[in-house]
A and B are shown apart, each in its own frame.
Chain A
Amino acid sequence: MLGNMPMFAIERIRIIKNYLLENKQVEVNQLSQMLSVSEVTIRRDLEKLEEEEFLTRTHGGAVLGSIKDIPSDSLSSNANESSHKDHTEIAKTAIQMINDGDVIMLTNGRINLEIARQLISKNKVTVLTNDLTIASHILEAQSAKVVLLGGDIDYHTKAVFGTLTINNLSNFFVNRLFIEADGISNNLDLTVSNIDMATFIKAAAKNANERIIVCTSSAFEKNSFYRAGLISDLCDKVITNHSLSEQYKNKIFNANIQLFSSIDLFEGRV
């Protein structure tokens, strides 16, 4: 956080630009908290940057790039496809860690949704989650027993957070917890884009036997705003993609954490 010093507009705009270049999208309330200025000021800054065609404003935030830059959908759908592939790969490894009869918890996120989709191959699994999409998916597929935590619904993530959720959480103990991380920083801090989510993850990590972080390799070195803690305190295992940089493979192994790179090498089965 940058403290309470008043900041010149030009400096603010530089920070916003850098943040967007790194993270591709941002929310107004995040920026207002980070830069200690009102949301109105941030909206004005974003407007100005939109005029420069640096970003496109969205509901409650902004995404990198001008709307004019992306006329055809070919590019974005390609990126979507490859990130979907990354998610499936990770989920495939995760599913092999789940035994029949387990009680697991899935925090909100797209990789964990993918894990929920693949649960169909398991028997008698109970899933605890704060993610409405995950809960409704399991409900439709009837692939497991599902317990949905209560609390304030966050519209952006379609998940519940807050004091209510955390109080609710203390009633449960799970075999395996899958934490989906938005980012993992250079010194192996788990970061997420929402303060409530950070608090939620810290609380969840205390109520599990085995804790597993799931995170695409592209999320490494991408810093989100809110720190949930060092991954060595939060988990025993990390599942990510094989394209993870050597630097991080080194760091994670040396931090005595099991690193699964969901490598899919052997063609077919024996």
Chain B
Amino acid sequence: MGIPKLELSNINKCLSDAFSLIDVSLDLYPGEVHALIGENGSGKSTVIKIVSGVLKPNSGVIFIDGSAVSIDSVSTAKLNGIHCVWQDLTLYPNLTVAENIFMEYPHSKKKLFTTVNSFKMYQDCTAIFNDFGINIDPRTPVGQLGFAQKQLIEMVRAYVSNAEIVIFDEPSAAFTSSEKDILFRIIRSLKKNNTAIFYITHLIDEIELIADRFTVMHQGKIIGTQSVSNTTKEDIIRMLSVPAGRNRYPKLNLPIGEVVMSVKNLSAANILSSINFEVHKSEILGITGLMGSGRSLLAQCLFGLTPTSSGSIELNGKKQKINSPEDAITKGIALVPEDRTASSIFGCLNLENNVTVSSLKRFQHYKYLHNQTMTAVTGSYINKLSIRPGHLDDLLETYSGGNQQKATVARWIMSRSKIYILDEPTRGVDVASKTDIYNSIIDLVSKGASVILISSDIDEILGMCDRVLVLAEGKITGEFQRKEATKEAIMYKSTIRSN
């Protein structure tokens, strides 16, 4: 295949005690799409950051066209013809679509004057949009576009950059199938121009559609690189599901009780369709799936945040209308939402208010709050959950992610609910706080409550849950009892469309 366009040789990078890249070697040929896959935290993004000059490796060499280069900044990466499309957007919301696309490659009228030939710019932009079938007006300010449309703009930017190496970091996560088609069209025409492409993804289906080779990463190491043409999906999944170490999730083997909640034929927001499941007393029910599978949407439906378009929810055998979070709370349902900062903590309120806000009724004394009891009870929660620093008057926005999350957990346990929906409760949480949260979960079920644990961390799901549901594209594609659940089976059900 000749000399690789880009070659990484024995790259090492230590990011923290818990994570480092170890001896990563990869190559990328002109006109090739090389997919990087692996679970969250496997090191894909770290590799990309090293290639694009955001991080410097501790050791190892990067070769471009066979000669060693040192990529010590984002601008050197650009000079070496590397363009990276990040997961997060880097657009200017108050400029138009075309202006954003040609920001770095302006259409100057003459060499001497640096005014922009905007007529030609919009003409070029329209031409490109027509080629790829993008239906966006180039004169719209980017701020008015939706997330997926903005991402498409980022893709077009990569196309016009004329970079010889383009990196896509999970580009399709927010895309519908028609937007994916556009993305693949862009990638194919980049390939035709002999551009070398790294493509990071979670979706195995996409690898088959677009990639020539793929590399599987796990815990900072490369598991293997293979060509797509002689590999089946099942092989890829087998490579992906590296067996986990010994189970480190605290789990009690409790007797499961009667059905407390049953969801029948639930559909919502044109994503979830015909969802059926039951939750039992003292059970931890795991729900997992990829981003966009509808996991969080389901949590919102159960908590009355998103209206359902059809179907019903029964609690203890009785049909219930849950039209608002108030309804849910009075019926004993609690939700610890996925996005802590936006939807659960009150950053500008103090710790005590944050913890007690859902249980104020308990401390009502005639028309007032009985502060003494409230303070004493809150103190005991803070102590037991090791919320640090833990002074009642601390503003919660000053706390670390783990401690904010524990404050949210404390809030709902104090409310003495019956069904706890925990959406990604340990994402972005330190290890010590994770163990506190897992122990709170087993405390809940050992006292007869039920827990719905939504998580993208399959090890956590396997370690904590009695039963696992897999969601893919808004449908339940698999259900496993604890004993039969394996990482492989779950990945299979969440990545491969069930027909």
Contacts and interface: CB of A to CB of B under 8 A. Distances in A.
A266 B443 contact: yes
Contact of A96 (B410, B435, B444, B446): B446
Interface residues of B, number: 38
A242 interface: yes
B238 interface: no
B251 A258 contact: yes
Interface in B422-476: 430-432, 434-436, 439-440, 442-444, 446-449
Interface stretch (B79-87, B152-160, B379-387): B379-387
Contacts of A93: 252
B253 A258 contact: no
Contact of A253 (B381, B431, B447): B431
Contacts of B432: 246-247, 249-250, 253
Given A263-B385, A266-B416, A258 B250 contact: yes
Given A249-B431, A249-B436, A270-B447, A258 B249 contact: yes
Contact of A236 (B246, B388, B430, B431): B246
A187 to B, nearest CB: 15
B444 A266 contact: yes
Interface in B208-251: 245-251
Interface string A233-270: 00011000011001101101111111111111111111
A254 B447 contact: no
B261 interface: no
Interface in A16-70: none
B384 A264 contact: yes
B3 interface: no
A163 interface: no
Contacts of B442: 260
B253 A99 contact: yes
B418 A270 contact: yes
B369 interface: no
Contacts of B448: 269-270
Contact of A237 (B250, B383, B386, B439): B250
Nearest to A97: B252
A103 to B, nearest CB: 16
Given A250-B432, A253-B248, A260 B416 contact: no
B386 A246 contact: yes
A264 B443 contact: yes
Contacts of B449: 266, 270
Contacts of B251: 258
Contacts of A250: 430-432
Contacts of A265: 381, 384-385, 410, 413, 440, 443-444
A263 B250 CA distance: 12
B281 A261 contact: no
B254 interface: yes
Contact of A261 (B245, B414, B439): B439
Interface residues of A, number: 31
Interface string B371-398: 0000000000101111010000000000
Contact of A269 (B383, B410, B439, B447): B447
A259 B435 contact: yes
B413 A97 contact: no
A99 B439 CA distance: 20
A254 B18 contact: yes
B17 to A, nearest CB: 9
A237 B413 CA distance: 25
A259 to B, nearest CB: 5
Interface string A151-181: 0000000000000000000000000000000
A243 B385 CA distance: 9
B248 A257 contact: yes
Nearest to A260: B250
A140 B442 CA distance: 32
A16 to B, nearest CB: 34
A210 B417 CA distance: 33
Interface string B324-336: 0000000000000
A220 to B, nearest CB: 13
A268 B447 contact: yes
Nearest to A96: B252
Contacts of B413: 265-266
Contacts of A236: 246
B184 to A, nearest CB: 41
Interface centre among B246, B388, B435, B443 (most CB of A within 10 A): B435
Nearest to B281: A270
Nearest to A98: B253
Contacts of B248: 253, 255-259
Contacts of B434: 253
B447 A261 contact: no
Q: Identify the 5 closest CB pairs spanning chains A and B, nearest first.
A: A270-B448, A246-B432, A249-B432, A256-B246, A256-B248
Given A250-B430, A270-B418, 18 more contacts: A97-B253, A99-B253, A247-B432, A250-B431, A253-B435, A256-B245, A258-B248, A258-B250, A259-B248, A259-B250, A261-B436, A263-B384, A264-B443, A265-B385, A265-B410, A266-B449, A268-B447, A269-B447
Interface of A: 93, 96-97, 99, 236-237, 242-243, 246-247, 249-250, 252-270
21 contacts: A236-B246, A242-B384, A242-B386, A243-B386, A246-B432, A249-B432, A249-B435, A256-B248, A258-B250, A258-B251, A259-B248, A259-B435, A259-B439, A260-B250, A260-B439, A261-B439, A265-B381, A267-B416, A268-B447, A269-B448, A270-B281
